[in-house]
Structure 1
Amino acid sequence: MTRAPDILCIGSVLWDVIGRANLHMTVGSDVPGRITRIPGGVALNIAMTLARFGLRPALLSSVGRDSQGDELLAECRALGLDTDHVYLSEDLPTDRYMAIEGVNGLIAAIADAHSLEAAGKKILRPLIDGPLGTADAPYPGAVALDGNLTESLLSEIADAPAFAAADLRIAPASPGKALRLMPFLRAGRGTLYVNLEEAGLLCQQTFADAPEAAAALLARGASRAIVTHGGETCADGTSEGVIRACPPKVLVTRITGAGDTFMAAHIAAERAGKDRPSALSHALKAAAAYVSGDMPS
């Protein structure tokens, strides 16, 4: 019998094309560096990290029936990820993400998740009409959801019976897509994982630090809000109060995927039974190891 997945990761599964230079860069910089292509996308980054912590994630996404899609799914399976429920599109290409990073951080990025958006509700069929669940027998486990889905689909998920029993963990994917999480804020459902900028966009104000932002998200209806702020203090807010922790100081060698690593490590820690302070500390240490290059991509 096939082992059931420990968690569903719903959202972008694509190729990351990352250009990195060990130099300070600005707009228009033309410098030597390294360009890599690796499996990526928010949902896939979370799934890969969860697998490294011994969990078996299943992916719900859209991948093209093309050579890039075949290669991507083969890589996913080699990493121990369940790809049985991925929607394979005959007419949509496999999505891609491209980023430029310097020693001073992310310079620019473009996420081409148009195929995922076009596939829409088709990626949710295993949850809506089996084999993972139905409206009458909703999936009862953990779900990591990213904001690369369309605003209308995310709004539908926030109220959908098929997600009524799930432990929803939600990330916006990028500041440009932060407002797509508004339905979960209004519905008071799920755990929101956002950075300080994304929290500000959701609350339409500027915050001095993560604890202030977490408290404001709770006041606006969030069930739980976990707010990061790079190398500064992070916060976890629930009805029991806001706790805070500081990440380890490390030399940053990469940025893309750090937030996804943090979220996955936090989910894995709580599934292992760690309390809120311990889970937050564990996730910050994992993210620090990732950005320093000590954790594999």
Structure 2
Amino acid sequence: MTRAPAPPDILCIGAVLWDVIGRTPGHMEKGSDLPGRITRIPGGVAFNIAMTLARFGMRPALLGALGRDPQGTALIAACEGLGLDTGYLYVSEDLPTDIYMAIEAANGLIAAIADAHSLEAAGAKILAPLRDGRLGSATAPYAGPVALDGNLTVSLLEDIAQDPAFGAADLRLAPASPGKAERLLPFLRAGRGALYVNLEEAGLLCQTVFENAPAAAQALIARGAMRALVTDGGRTCAEADADGLITAEPPKVLVTRVTGAGDTFMAAHIAAEGRGDDRSAALAAALDAAAHYVSGDTPS
């Protein structure tokens, strides 16, 4: 008798695509033309979170959109090779697999473009497993953790914030980029989920500029967030909820890459809480994992 596959520990919903990243050890300004390396690796916020969760021993399932094209086929194979459950992905016959392109230098991220048009076009189709009984439904909602990224459309995120199919889920929310941070406003208004944002994204959600992460985390709670974790590069990180504010200092490391650092932080924090770490230990573990990642010690 064939044993049924183990159910996922967590759902990662959002962008699953190819990252094309150019990196140079030099300092870049507008118009710079420098030697470096260009790589193509699996990426996207949902993928990055799932990959890190798998590395910590969890069983993540991906919900997103891919094209039924060579890029999509190769991406599914890469995901499965990393232990990610791809059985719930929406694979489109007429949409291409999405792609992200970035340039990084010694002075940080220079520029990036995320082409997630297929994910946006697929819309609610990617959520079918949560509504048709495979993972849950409106009457028997999925009750586990869900990592959700801001690459989804505003209207779909607004629906999710109120959808009974997500009513029992432990929502963990990532904006994907500062340009998409305000897409998470429905969750502030609904008082749902834990927000994982950087200082700039927190400012956009609160329509102000913050000097530090503790101030930003407290302001997000005041704006209606159930829980907020705010990072600020190598400076103090903060977490706030109804029980109060805690802070922690990131390890000092040499930064060699930045794309995916926030996703690594979020995944490591979720994994730490999943194994029973308290608030302070989970925050420290997340900062340590992110530091290892940006220093290049963690494989991408």
Q: Which residue of structure 1 aligns with residue 166 of structure 2?
A: 163
Provide TM-score, normalisation by structure 2.
Answer: 0.99
- Is 1:16 the counterpart of 2:28? The answer is no
Give the distance between the partners of 1:134 and 1:240, measured in 2 at CA: 32
- Is 1:213 the counterpart of 2:216? The answer is yes
Q: Which amino acid aligns with 2:37?
A: R
Give the distance between the partners of 1:107 and 1:131, measured in 2 at CA: 42
RMSD of aligned residue pairs (Cα, Å): 0.3
Q: Which residue of structure 2 aligns with residue 30 of structure 1?
A: 33
Q: Which amino acid aligns with 1:38?
A: I
Give the distance between the partners of 2:196 and 2:152, measured in 1 at CA: 16
Give the distance between the partners of 1:5 and 1:165, measured in 2 at CA: 16
Shift of the alpha carbon at 1:9?
0.1
Corresponding residue SS for 1:228: strand
Shift of the alpha carbon at 1:67?
0.1
Alignment counterpart, residue 266 of structure 1, candidates 259, 264, 269: 269
Provide the identity percentage.
Answer: 74
Q: Which residue of structure 2 aligns with residue 204 of structure 1?
A: 207
- Is 1:138 the counterpart of 2:141? The answer is yes
- Deviations along 1:125-179, whole A, 9 cap, x unmatched? 0001120000000000000000000000000000100000000000000000000
Shift of the alpha carbon at 1:27?
1.3
Give the distance between the partners of 1:221 and 1:148, measured in 2 at CA: 22
- Is 1:224 the counterpart of 2:227? The answer is yes
For 1:5-84, list aligned pairs within 5 A: 5-84=8-87
Count of equivalent residues: 297
For 1:145-184, list aligned pairs within 5 A: 145-184=148-187
Q: Which amino acid aligns with 1:142?
A: P
Corresponding residue SS for 2:235: coil
Give the distance between the partners of 1:138 and 1:15, measured in 2 at CA: 31
Q: Which residue of structure 1 aligns with residue 89 of structure 2?
A: 86
Q: Which residue of structure 1 aligns with residue 195 of structure 2?
A: 192
- Deviations along 1:25-73, whole A, 9 cap, x unmatched? 0111100000000000000000000000000100000000000000000
Q: Which residue of structure 1 aligns with residue 98 of structure 2?
A: 95
Give the distance between the partners of 1:155 and 1:237, measured in 2 at CA: 23
- Is 1:294 the counterpart of 2:277? The answer is no
Give the distance between the partners of 2:157 and 2:30, measured in 1 at CA: 33
Q: Which amino acid aligns with 1:79?
A: L
Q: Which amino acid aligns with 1:10?
A: I
Gaps of 5+ in 2: none
Corresponding residue SS for 2:247: strand
Q: Which amino acid aligns with 1:83?
A: T
Give the distance between the partners of 1:229 and 1:171, measured in 2 at CA: 15
Provide TM-score, normalisation by structure 1.
Answer: 1.00
Shift of the alpha carbon at 1:87?
0.2
